[in-house]
Amino acid sequence: MTTILVTGAAGYIGSIMVPRLLQAGFGVVALDNFMYRQASLLDCCNNPNFELIRGDARDRELLATCLKTVDAIFPLACLTGAPLCKADPVGAKTIIYDAAHDLIELRSPRQAIIFPTTNSGYGIGEEGKFCTEETPLSPISLYGRLKVDIEKALLDAGNVITLRLATVFGASPRMRTDLLVNDFVLKAINDASIVLFEADFCRNYLHIRDAADAFLHSLNNFEAMKDEPYNVGLSEANITKRQLCEEIKKQIPGFYFTEHALGEDPDKRDYMVSNAKIEATGFKATRSLAEGISELIKAYRVLPKFPFGNI
């Protein structure tokens, strides 16, 4: 049996990823410090192929112990997003860069790494042009810079695939409401309105279950794909914030949005992304924004009235 070490296993993506791996017949060693007091992996505990370790991915000795029994590593442990990294720059560096660098040093050459980076590394793209994996990286936040730096170190080390994920959306047992689609849908439900700043800034989006499927696809096609970065997003969803609001309004008709011309968005990312490279390997994101919005509307009927964000 192939066994995967998943760090940050109880996080937003990990809580979808781990059950998916177990369902596919893989063994999982799950490492998480449960910093959000989440109970998102309880349903996995009945699976004999699931091992749970409560600890920190920055604990080098613990990491070395975890690596002894696994064939591949999905390093999901992260302080995710520009605001959280700005609030805790030391924590951001130690988790995003240092912990991943420890993996490079501690793993054996046979152990594959599939690492989630971010397409926010493209920063501000050229108008009318899609960013490909050959586009120069120009991150504009500490989060983006750390992800770009560790991606280079990982690819230089070899036996690695990096996935430049688009902005993820959708429901998870360890929910995040601070991601753009998730946040806008929540505001549409709770406030029925939103004021947009720089409404025509564009980015790409990706359903969380498509993100998990991209990892599985990369694992199953590792030899053909290794030592390369891949953009991963929904190719039909290179859209502006204004267009996103229009999609939400189709399902929440009472949602009102407007633009404040004098306002400024602290997140300056503005780019379109090509996902053609990973699509050429046989993977294509298929879950639409409309499906994700419908899912989120139902999820917010379940969640209590407080935010499930990273900050």
pLDDT in tens, 204-246: 999 999 999 999 999 999 999 999 999 999 999 999 999 999 9
- Give the model's confidence band at 124: pLDDT under 50 very low, under 70 low, under 90 confident, else very high: confident
User: What's residue 128's pLDDT?
Assistant: 84
- Residues 148-156: what's their mean pLDDT? 97
Domains of the chain: residue spans and CATH:
3-169+206-234 (3.40.50.720)
User: What's residue 82's pLDDT?
Assistant: 84
Alpha-carbon distances of 23 from 49, 61, 216, rounded to whole Å: 10, 30, 11
Q: Tell me which residue of 137, 117, 120 sits closest to 214, measured CA to CA.
A: 117
pLDDT at 265 over 80: no
Alpha-carbon span 290 to 292, nearest angstrom: 5
- Residues 96-115: what's their mean pLDDT? 96
- Residues 124-142: what's their mean pLDDT? 90
Q: Tell me which residue of 76, 254, 83 sits closest to 172, measured CA to CA.
A: 76
In 123-260, the DSSP E strands lie at 130-131, 160-165, 167-169, 193-196, 202-207, 228-232, 238-240, 256-259
Alpha-carbon span 256 to 30, nearest angstrom: 42
**Residue-averaged pLDDT of the chain:** 94
What H or E segment, with its residue span, contains residue 113? strand 112-118
What pTM did the predictor assign? 0.94
Alpha-carbon span 233 to 237, nearest angstrom: 8
pLDDT at 195 over 70: yes
Alpha-carbon span 110 to 160, nearest angstrom: 10
User: What's residue 218's pLDDT?
Assistant: 98
